[in-house]
Structures are given as C-alpha cells and as structure tokens.
Amino acid sequence: MKIMDLMDKKAIIPQLTGKGKKEVLAELCQVVAAQEGLETAPLLEVLLEREKLGSTGIGEGIAIPHGKTTATDKLVVACGRSPQGVDFDSMDGKPTHLFFLLLAPENTAGAHLKALAKISRLLKDSDFRRKLLAASGADEIYQLIASKDDDF
C-alpha cells in the first residue's frame, strides 16, 4: 500500500490556520470534501466522534486523525502542517505540528489499519518529520512523502 495512491497533492495544507483541534480537523475535512465531492460536516462529525474515544495526537508533534464513513468508498489521506503548533490533546502534552488525516469506508478494517500503520511508520523517522516541517510548500511536502513512500 502506498500513501501516494491515497493522497492527492491538492490534499496537502502547508499552512494550517486553525488554532484548535476542531478547526484543524475542519480544514483537513474541507480539502478532502472538495477533492472527493463530499460534504464537510459529516466527515468532521466522524473525526470528532473518534477523538472522543481518545486523542489521535500520538506525540512527537504528530496526529493521525482517522475515522470510517459511509460518505466514501475508498481510503483518502490528507496532510496538514501547523508551524506554530496546535494543542491536540497529544499523548506527550506537546503541540502538534504534522497532521495526516485518514478517512476510510465503513467496511474496510484491514486496509484502514494498514494505512494507519504505514503513516505511523513514515512519521517515526525524526529526520523525515524535520524535513516535512522545513519544506517550502505543498509541492515539496508531496515530493518528500513520495520519496519515503517506497521505504516502508
């Protein structure tokens, strides 16, 4: 499974403007909704419900918000970056800077988990995270992800 098969360059937000969890999730949902021809509100609701179970802020400045929805019939990934950082109730209590959103169809347990694992492996590399944070924009972020996608 390749992240690049699930993410369009248009789904990368190099400068998130949201100051809180809900605002950042809404921004990420908006790009996915626009890309896939979906409504934003139901996607956001799915993610907020998932966040009630526990924060998807995994620490080290990373969050992988995810959820399942009937709105899409394929896995979809979006990426956002917040240079100033957002309080995302992360496990380490530190601000979150990198966000990888994953939405999956209701009936895809295996593929959903594989995609989450792949994203997590990509982001464990501290040098890769540093490069993502230093990237000049969406094109460079996209290229960095593409270059790393084959490693895992």
Give the separation between CA 25 and CA 23, rounded to whole angstroms: 5
- What is the CATH superfamily name and number for domain 3-149? Mannitol-specific EII; Chain A (3.40.930.10)
Nearest-5° Cα angle at 146, 145 to 150: 105
* pLDDT the model gives residue 152: 63
* pLDDT the model gives residue 150: 80
66 catalytic residue (yes or no): yes
- Kindly state the DSSP code that residue 147 receives in the 8-state scheme: H
* C-alpha dihedral (116, 128, 94, 57), degrees to nearest 10: -10
Which of 14, 32, 33, 66 is the catalytic position?
Answer: 66
Q: What is the pLDDT along the chain (152 residues), one digit of tens a residue?
A: 889 999 999 999 999 999 999 999 999 999 999 999 999 999 999 999 999 999 999 999 999 999 999 999 999 999 999 999 999 999 999 999 999 999 999 988 788 899 999 999 999 999 999 999 999 999 999 999 999 988 76
Q: Where are the domains of the chain?
A: 3-149
Tokens representing residue 19 in the block: 């100051």
Q: List C-alpha distances in Å: 63 to 59, 95, 144.
A: 7, 10, 18
Tokens representing residue 25 in the block: 């999730």
Paired sense of beta strands 12-13 and 76-86, if any? parallel
Q: What pTM, to 2 d.p., does this model score?
A: 0.94
Give the separation between CA 102 and CA 119, rounded to whole angstroms: 9
Question: Are the C-beta atoms of 101 and 66 separated by less than 8 Å?
Answer: yes
SS3 call for 90: coil
